[in-house]
Structure 1
Amino acid sequence: MRALIPAIVLGLMLTPAFPGAAMAQTTTDAAKADGKAFGKDLGAAAQTAATTQPNADRVPGFNGTPSQSGYFDDPKAMERAAASQASSSTGYQTMRNSMDRRATFNKVDLDATIARSKTISEDPLSYTSGMGVSGAQGRCVPLPPASGAAARYKATCNTGYTVDSSTQSCSVTLQANVTTVTDYLYYCSRLDPDCTAFQLPTCRWTGSHPGKCLQGVDTPGGFKCFEPGDPVDEYTCSAPVSGSNPISVTAHQVVNTSKDESQCAGLAADTNCTNTQETCSDSDPTTRIIDGVAVTQPCWAWRRDYQCNRYSPAQDCDTLASTPGCTLQQEYCITGETPCRTFERVYDCPVPDQPQDKNQFICDGDVYCIDGSCETIDRQPNDEFKDAVVALNAMDQARREFDPATLTLFKGTRETCSSKVFGILNCCKGKGFPLIPGIQLLVALGCSREEMLLHQKDVQGLCAYVGTYCASSFLGVCFTKRKVYCCFESKLSRILQEQGRQELNKPWGAPKTEQCLGFTIDEFARLDLSKMDFSEVYAEFTDAARLPDELQAATQIQQKIEDYYARARQ
């Protein structure tokens, strides 16, 4: 109505003056008196309606079984009946005409106006000054810029390290050489204490044989020993043993082999590299002539493979850090390991690509003129209406979302989405990024339909960001992360949960285990709604709030203005 009346009056101001000043003056006074009496009657009626207990009997045409109940079985009949009455219904035509001429406002403009009104209410004298009844020009002050608090979102990025894995190889060769070795054979009775002389690094025990027979007889079957001598140990030495005479001295050639691992020394010493396998790379021929001696080996060279992992610093936060309006809220480790190699940074950012508000002003007063006679309208806006509307909607939302099984209110639904750390594919863009036409492409690349639906809910303001945890990691570096949200039935429920948890000092739990539980009855009773900021939903509630008699009052006002001009023309 407040938007309609100035438009009607402005139209009257632009109408050419009527002849007959005395008659116009008399008629003007009568119109003023009639208008004031009409307004007084409407005010009394509104006050009575606001203080009277609702009663079904007061509704015109209501009875125990309304005739309209037949529409329950045949909803299409309601459409047919409405269509047949629309062309002849005065109320419908008035409503359509009113809606067609009614001014519309962008939601962003409403949010900006609400934000600026808060600043004005804190220091009203800085924006207003007096204006006389005479209609003298007063002072206009530019409105403060919008705060944009209702159009922000949580954006995340990562810092830390990436792991570059690679396979590196090196060669190991078999080295063979032939040497001539001289063996000195010694015998020593096992009970002879002089045998200790052969316990040298150059000597080795190579066998034993029975000692000389002490008693025996010759028999037809051969010599039979009755009393053998002490066993004799045999020692083979690579050098003469001082004080002993060798039984025999023989020379022979020995083949020595060893692996040359010098090419693999660097990889073997690197703690970031692990030997994964070794394969023969040279096995033909197996027999080769070394220093004139035939040497046979199954393999003469090997390829040794190492898996090497290199840490390199990485981050993708430059864009958020340089975006105007984005502020760093927190940074935490998402791998839970020490030392931490992957950190999550959370920024609070304005929603991009918002239309810029034009300069607006607030002036000292509103002057309305009819036929040259002007009056200053003293407006006293009701600054409690928005709070009352939010409180009523909060109570209604609590009634609808109350869970009798758990005795809780505003329970959310846990939903998650995944993205690659420092990767290109991101299924968790958030409401800071509008939905793109290629949703099917994202699904084909790996994003699930549930993740796309989560994005839609987040864009609509239904989801609260809880946090991020690492879903897959390697060597302490996170490869895939999952972002966790709690989504609610309405934007109001989300705001109550977010700001209510701050009041109750009840933060969200760990992202990996948070279940989005609702408030208990006792917790909800302890909430102070007056301390919460509901500017994000003010515009939605006030846009939906319409007084039942607004259309009727507008019609009556329009009719009285037409009657005034009808009398003036007589």
Structure 2
Amino acid sequence: MAKGRAGQFARLALPCLLLVLAALPAQAQVYIPPPDDLVEELPVLPPDVDPVLPAPAPPPPSAPNTMSAEEAKAEARSTGAALRGAYQGLTQEAGAAGQVPGYQESYPGQTQYYTNPEALQTDGAVAGWNSEAYRTANSTTRPTVNVTRSDLARATAIEADPDAYLEGMSADGSTGDCVPLPPGSGTANTAEWTCHVGSQVVEQPRTCTNSLTVAEWNDMLYQYACVIAPRFDGCTALAGNGQCRRTATYPVPDYNLTIDYYDCDTAVSDPNAYLIAALPKPPPADAFAVVSNAYRCNAEGITDALTFDPVTGMPLQYVTGLQQCGTIASDTTCTRTSPAAAGLAERVLCKTWDFIGDPFGGGGYLTCIEPAAPEEVYLCSSNVAGMTAESAVSKWFTQAWTDSACSIDPASCTLSTETCTAPGEARIIGGVAVTRPCWERTRTYLCQSVVGGGNDCGALETQAGCSLAREVCLDDPPSADGSCAVSERVYSCPIPGTSEEPAQYICGGDVYCVNGDCEAVEREASDEFKDSVVALNALGQANAEFDEAALTLFRGTRESCSHKVFGLSNCCSGKGVPLLTPWLCSSAEKLLDEKDDAGLCHKVGTYCSSSFLGICVTKKDVYCCFQSKISRILQEQGRPQIGKPWGKPKTETCEGFSIFEFQQLDLSVMDFSEVYADFMEAAKLPDEAAALVQIQQKIADYYAAHKP
């Protein structure tokens, strides 16, 4: 660290060397090259009129015959301060450009090199040889100054023991030769919060249940023929039936007759209509076919048995080849049903029977003494291995959802959820087991209605430090009579946890030395340094953000966020305020919030993005976001200068400045205080520079204590 601090002081010797060089005879004038030529054709520059120089400062009073070193230094500082004040604004005077040596009032002729760049090297060598400044700088006989080590004796002494000169100074401005910088605005301590008053749209849930109706498709097509004679019309019943359509007509000239053919959806009962054929109609496109196999089985292990009348007990039939149920009950394609539903005859099996009476006398009979368990009947949509179907049916069915008594207005209600309350059941329809994924569903709708008197501004109205900034009507389109159904109120409120920006300081870091006697240069704090840094950065941004395709500068991107009016969902928190409902916001809206907090976005305004019956439901905040704070500030403060307002929030496209528009901007009147904090590191003293300030003071203390 000692060597580092000493190295800092060693760099203080540079101003001393410059003063020594300045004392030598001048060999040539300093040549400042003219400004670079521009690509586009530009208007003629203003003439280089000599600025009106301020009156020179009065001469200092005559020095007394005897003057101490301290008195001479004080007089020099006084004279320098007066001259600095007199000439400080010289560069801002009209025609100041004409005072620059070598400056040309018109654009130079270097445009010839656009098409012949190879000539640059040759012409440059010739110009350099003809330039006195170039010859002086490259002369091998120019005077030089040899600095011996003895000339740096005091610097080497401090380098050897720097800690002896580092006491009593502070880089925070509390002690030492430091003065505070003018405060900048820095990060804002307030943010804008919004609320709403007026009519609001409320949502209420409504539930309706729908059921699936499945019907067997068994429609028939009836084909008829009828005869028409001169005094007999046998087609009257068919022609007057709305369910019938004439398909063909055949005249019979030999008998002076005409035969017409009709297709009818229903049977026609008329003696003059002759039925030709009855055909099943083809099913509609949304119909579905179901194959149903009916199986009988028993769980008693019986393979043959008598059937009997359960009332009288009399035997009816001896049956064989009975099947066991086995695994048919667990088959997912099978549904257990009753014989009647499956279209089979009902029967009761007898497991054990006996003969009652005298078998030889002819008066006896058989009776069941042990009935078997009832048979099981299954309807299956596929063939079951190892089982024989007693019947096989294939039928077509149609289906349709029927609404309940609940009426839903599609204009004001939107479907929210749908739940199946009767899934995957198999129902017997027309003797066939029909399985559908869902037989009944419950739908929940959110239905909107308008109510008046909405106001969610209570918290902001009573919060300390909040003040109403403005009020915006959200009606779109606006009312013809000037009334407003829904208004947005914008309040300016302090951001919790924020504090004022700490004071910044600039410290005198320059030292000049003459004959080994060093003096610190005193500086006054001003905005000039910060404004210069910001202006240079603005020019750098102009180069970085130049759009070669559109020939524009500082173009922004349009971004927006949504906010439900009178609702919880809010993705537009505002600068410095965290998102209230981040889980409801898109990734683009979250990124916009980060950009806005970083000071990269300008809020264009708010517009209603969705409404119900003319009442705004959802609004959108529109922003123009830029690549840097300076770009945003240039847009915000430059547009009023050239009369280029922001567009309406619904249509703003965040255009950049054209080259001509940018040339008209006056950056000197713009307020860049918001970005001063970003460039403050250039004015702050790092640790090493703080040691430099301490060394300066120690030098002055040293000379004060060792005066001859």
TM range (shorter): 0.3 to 0.5
Relative to its length, the structure with more helix (as a share) is 1
TM-score (norm 1): 0.44
TM-score (norm. length: structure 2): 0.36
